Structure 1
Amino acid sequence: MAETGRWSPDHLAITGDMVNLATGIEIRMVADWLRQAGDAQHLSVVPGNHDAYVPGAHDKAIHAWYPYVRGDDDPDAWEKDHKLFPYIRRRGPIAIIGCSTSIATPPFSAMGYFGSRQARETAQLLAQAGSEGLFRVVMIHHPPIRGAAPAYKRMVGLRRFRAAISVGGAELVLHGHTHLNSRYTLPSKGREVPVIGIASASQGPGGEKPATSVNLFEIEGGPGNWTLDWERRRLDDEADAFQTVHKERLRV
């Protein structure tokens, strides 16, 4: 069934690769688009490898998009030496923890890196949010799953990320990078945390990879009694509407 009406999500989460070559004009155009798409209270971004395609691009992108990548506890204005990631944003009963795997890489490489400092601080933020009774959503660009991406596109630091989820706890992990609609899990505190990927927003119908898709999540309940309803919509073959291709209540 095609979905032709406008959607009104409470929050929009974007998991990176906002640009292609990370040129100055691309970064500025994305900044303009973000301002049109929504205010920073209702839109969160983490960078991808294309957002750091060349040396220096990452800092330029973060500076331009700062309202959408800063956490509740970060400075009001961009400070280059400030360790931004991971960040935490509290929105009602939800905690959004944004991580970065974005680094400049050699040609024909698209790897990401998740280091020990970020892993340690991610675990701390997750544990803190859990103690506050919040539903924890982790955003990261590269899939934190072994084998989910080819070796030249993999994430270095998989074990560190897995340990952060295992120790800190989480209810949902969102990633991008592969341009595929995917679903995995990671273990944490005796249960499995859903890890959900998404197709590229720039992919039209008829290509090798899935057409533009969106994941919609509805979160209800409270600590120990959360419900997470997941719906995936994909651009149809005529590229004029979205259709629901999957609906499920996930166990969290």
Structure 2
Amino acid sequence: MMFRLAHISDIHLGPMPRVSPAELFSKRITGYVNWQRNRRKHLFGNTLEQVLAGVRDARPDHVAITGDLVNLATRAEIEAARLWLETHFDPANTTLVPGNHDAYVPGALERSTSAWQPWMLSDPGARENAMFPAFRRRGPVALIGLSTANATLPFMATGTFGNTQAKAAGKLLDQAASDGLFRVVMIHHPPVRNAARWHKRMKGIGRFAKMLKRHGAELVLHGHTHLDTISYLPGNDGRVPVLGIASASQGHGSHKPAAGFNLFEIDGEPGNWSLVHKRMRLAENGTGLGEIEVGLVETVDVNS
């Protein structure tokens, strides 16, 4: 039966809560200034509510969220994000991976992942010890969540995909393939060269590419750039589509595209999967979302 998967990213929940002087005595000061000067001008109003309404109307079987729920990862923001998740998303039908803003300063990632565990944890018995990579099976789909989130220096927003996680993810990809599942890899930073500027790049892009080439996947979802993008990377039996999406809170009037979500219709069987992609975006008048792209995403023939 057809499986419908929605994808949102870079929520950047606002408005910014009160930040104490002690919390600003860190990298957070640069992020706070950026919010006041730039982000709050465009991440505002009821944009996010309209995106959530559009997702609900699409009636997906599952929702994938690829990170950056918060801005400065203060304790108040992390708790607000937990309440937001509880309000809008059933952990059984939603999978979340963290972004760099969720790990903004040392210690923040541990607090974020602890607060948001129900939406991140693997299925019982699927994984032991480390939280990432995470593995969840939903119908014909395997969701494999990766983490590139780490605290960085001021003015940096890089992420890291290390060897330990790559090896563990490769085993999960192989197991999912042997089980005849459609494999969706979730990651915050784009695993594509030149997709992000040097100070926002993912360290380990080559490692990710080798993993994908060796073990394969049917779809990769990411966030971070706040752009509607589609790229392809070689898999072990064909090219793999890699899709990003605009920030779910982005209003009109910025150089970045307005908020939206990806919607995928997954059908078929191993060796003959069908993946239809619809990209939804906030209407110019700011009311509701409309479909701006629709097409068949090829996942089988690397030479096509």
TM-score interval, smaller chain = over 0.9
Task: Identify which of 113, 118, 136 aligns with 1:62.
Answer: 113
* 1:7 CA drift (Å): 2.4
Does 2:210 match 1:159? no
Deviation (angstroms), 1:37: 1.3
Matches within 5 A, 1:105-116: 105-116=152-163
Unmatched segments (≥5 aa) in structure 2? 1-52, 300-304
Q: Cα deviation per residue 1:35-83 (whole Å; 9 max; x = unaligned)?
A: 111211100000000000011000000000000000114699xx9xx41
Instruction: Decide which of 73, 79, 92 is 1:41's aligned counterpart.
Output: 92
Write the mapping of 1:167-182 to structure 2, written as runs, cut at 5 A.
Answer: 167-182=214-229
In the alignment, the residues of structure 1 paired with residue 135 and residue 276 of structure 2 have an alpha-carbon distance, to the nearest angstrom, of 23
Decide which structure has greater helix share.
2
**Contact 2:188 2:223 survives alignment (8 Å):** yes
Note if contact 1:149-1:178 (Cα within 8 Å) is conserved in structure 2: yes
Kindly indicate whether the alpha-carbon contact (under 8 Å) linking 2:122 and 2:134 is maintained by their aligned counterparts in 1: yes
2:231 — aligned with what? 184
- How many residue pairs get aligned? The number is 246
Partner of 2:298: 251
Q: Which has the larger radius of gyration?
A: 2
Opposite residue 32 of structure 1, the aligned amino acid is L
Q: How does 1:81-92 map to 2 (within 5 A)?
A: 82-92=129-139
Mapped to 2, the partners of 1:19 and 1:38 lie a distance apart of 16
Q: Which structure is richer in relative contact order (CA contacts within 8 A, separation 6 or more)? A: 2
Distance change >3 Å, CA 75–CA 27, structure 1 → 2:
farther
In structure 2, C-alpha distance between the alignment counterparts of 1:74 and 1:112, rounded to whole Å = 28
- Taking only aligned residues, the RMSD between alpha carbons, in angstroms, comes to 1.7
Residue 197 of structure 1, aligned match among 204, 225, 244: 244
So what's the TM-score if we normalise by structure 2?
A: 0.78
Displacement, 1:113? 0.2
- 2:144 paired with 1:93: no
User: Are 2:19 and 1:19 equivalent residues in the alignment?
Assistant: no
CA contact (8 A) 1:122 1:168 kept: no
Give the fraction of aligned pairs with identical amino acids, expressed as a percent: 51
Query: Is the 8 Å Cα contact of residues 103 and 151 (structure 2) preserved in structure 1?
Result: yes
Task: Tell me, in whole angstroms, the C-alpha distance in 1 between the residues paired with 2:134 and 2:215.
Answer: 14
